[in-house]
Amino acid sequence: MTGLFSREPKDPEIKKNVKKLKIIKKLVKDKKYAEALKLGTEYLQKVPNHHDVLFTVGGIYYLKNKYKTAISYFDKALEIGNYDIDVLLLKAYSHQKLGESKRVIQCCDKIKEIDPKNKAVSNLLAELN
Read off the pLDDT of residues 45-68 as tens digits, 9 standing for 90 and up.
Answer: 988 889 999 999 999 999 999 999
CATH number at 14-128:
1.25.40.10
Q: What is the pTM of this model?
A: 0.85
Q: Report pLDDT digits (tens) over 78-115.
A: 999 888 999 999 999 999 999 999 999 999 999 999 99
The answer to whether 125 and 95 have CB atoms below 8 angstroms apart is: no
d(CA 117, CA 97): 23
Query: In this model, does residue 44 exceed pLDDT 80?
Result: yes
Separation of alpha carbons 48 and 51, rounded Å: 9
Task: Identify the three-state secondary structure at position 76.
Answer: helix
Longest dimension (CA), the chain: 63
Domain ranges in the chain are: 14-128
48 to each of 15, 41, 79, 82, how far by Cα in Å?
Answer: 17, 9, 12, 16
52: Cα within 13 Å, side-chain hemisphere:
11
